[in-house]
Structures are given as structure tokens and as C-alpha cells.
Amino acid sequence: MTEQQAYLQELMALDFKLYDLHLYLNTHPFDGEILEIYQDLAKEAKSTREKYEAMYGPLKCENAATDCEWTWIKNPWPWEGMV
């Protein structure tokens, strides 16, 4: 597994955890402990996503615009070369 693949796998796991907690919080909105865990995981996912995008390019087109260029098409797609 390449470093890029490891980052993507970590991001997928974090996003899955966040979504699962999101669903739980929809039915238990006053569970402060879970809300704190959700917020910590959201920060971790954001940080990991930012590190990935700094090294390999944007994962979403929303993150592809810089001050002077559109970077969405510069790098290989995240799934390219992963067989």
C-alpha cells in the first residue's frame, strides 16, 4: 500500500466514523460525550484531508481553486493507479 492509499484509507475510515456519529447524534442530540468525540474526529479528518491535498492535490473540486489557477485537473484523480 502506498502512502497515498494509506491516507485515503484513513480518510475513508474517519468519514465513516463521522457519519455514524452524525446518525447517532440525530437521535441523541444532547449526548455531550459523543458530540465531543464527533468534534475531535471532525478536526482530525479536516487535518488529514488538508495534509493529503497538500501532497497529492484536491479531493473535491471545491478545494481546487487557488488565487491564480484551477488545480482540479493537474494531478491524477485520487482513484487512478489504485488496482
Whether 79 is in a domain gets the answer no
The pLDDT value recorded for residue 81 is 64
pTM assigned to the model: 0.75
Are 18 and 62 in contact by the 8 Å Cβ rule? The answer is: no
The pLDDT value recorded for residue 11 is 94
Whether 69 is in a domain gets the answer no
Domain count, the chain: 1
Mean pLDDT: which of 11-15, 57-61, 66-70, 75-79 is highest? 11-15
Q: Which domain holds residue 31?
A: 3-63
Q: Give the torsion sign (CA, 72, 42, 29, 17).
A: positive
**pLDDT tens-digit map of 23-73:** 999 999 999 999 999 999 999 999 999 999 889 888 776 666 555 566 666
